[in-house]
Each structure stands twice: as C-alpha cells, then as structure tokens.
Amino acid sequence: MKEFKNVYVFNHPLIKHKIAILRDKNTGMKEFRELIEEITTIMTYESMADVALQPVRIETPLEVTTQYKVPEESIAIVPILRAGLGMVNGVHKVFPTAKVGHIGMYRDEETLEPQEYYCKLPDGIEKKTVFLVDPMLATGGSACDALDALKKRGCKKIKFMAIIGAPEGVEKVATAHPDVPVYVSTLDRCLNENGYILPGLGDAGDRLFGTK
C-alpha cells in the first residue's frame, strides 16, 4: 500500500500485545470487550494531540494561574453501529463529557456495499471535533458513507479510528477523504473473497456482543 499523509498506523508495543490477545479465537467476550476499550483509549491519547485548547484561569492553593483545557462541548463520538459501540467507552475514559451520536450501517452480503439505516447526532455536531469509530476498516465502504453523512450535516473536523485496517479499506478512505486523519492500530495483510480482513479477528460485533 502506498503512503498517505492522512494515515497513521500505530507501532506501540502495548497495542501490539493487546491485539495479539484480541485476535485469539479463544479470547472470551468479556476480555475481548475490555481489550477493545483499552486499545481505543491508547489510540485516543495519540489522536487528540492536535485538539484545540482554550486558556482558563485556575486558582491553586497558592496562586491564580492560566492553564489550558479542551472546551467541554468541543468533542463528539460517533460509532458506526453496531461494532463501533465497543469503542465508545475507550474514548470516554479520556474525555468523559463527549457527546455521542450513532450511525447505523450494514453491509449487503451479496454486493458488500454499505447501507445506512440510522443516523442520530448531537446538537451542534458541525462545531465539534468528531471521532468516528469502528473496530474494523475492511472494504472502507461503511467508513466512507459514514464520513459522507457527517460532512453532509456540516462536520468539518473529523477523525476516523479503527483498530484493525485492511490495505484496501485504508486506501479507499484515505483517497476519498484526504482531509480526514485515519488512525489504525495495525495494518493487516488483505481482504478475503468475502470481504473479511486477514489475519483479522473474525466479526468484531459478534465477538463484542455474543450475537450473530
């Protein structure tokens, strides 16, 4: 895969350790869910490095000082349903007051094309930094459609985070949305004939929620 200026692949030893456990077919639902949250938290720290701050006056026990904070209403999390729900708490651990919206997408099993069936976003979403999250970036179709939906609603600052990315999906999103930073914990080998990532970890939604 060629390099893109808006793609960031993490090379953190702790993330690699957790992904190794995440991939294991014997990892149970509870541990799988906890690992998704933990990896997301680490990714959020990194991806928030350029988030805007505002000066505030703080009174310490000794004096008044100027410090800097992320404005309370400036962050929103939008998971792509359903697997993206597993990443929400990971972002909330870093920024617990972030508002949460939802975008529902499903993949047509024959065409592999994404279909939108639900979209509910916080008020003022167009003024916020939006973290669009989905554990798996496979074909890139759902991510591109979700980004299109956010942009149609006025969102101008969006960051996309996925835990596992396929080269095909990463390239599609990076090309279609060069203004959106794309963060992935690891870049896998390829997609199989059914659109699943290899080596991957199976269906993230099934493993998160114990349903098919």
Q: Which residues are catalytic?
A: 107, 111, 203, 206
d(CA 102, CA 3): 30
What distance in Å separates the CA atoms of residue 189 and residue 167, rounded to the nearest whole number? 7
* Cβ burial, residue 84 (10 Å; 0-12/13-18/19+): buried
Cis ω for the linkage preceding 122 (within 30 of 0): no
Q: Which of 149, 152, 147, 150 is nearest to 178 (CA)?
A: 147
Q: How many CB atoms lie within 10 A of CB 110?
A: 6
d(CA 149, CA 147) in angstroms, rounded, equals 5
Q: How many other C-beta atoms lie within 10 A of the C-beta of residue 61?
A: 4
- What's the token pair of residue 155? 């969102």
Give the Cα separation of 201 and 172 in Å (integer).
Answer: 21
The DSSP code for 50 is T
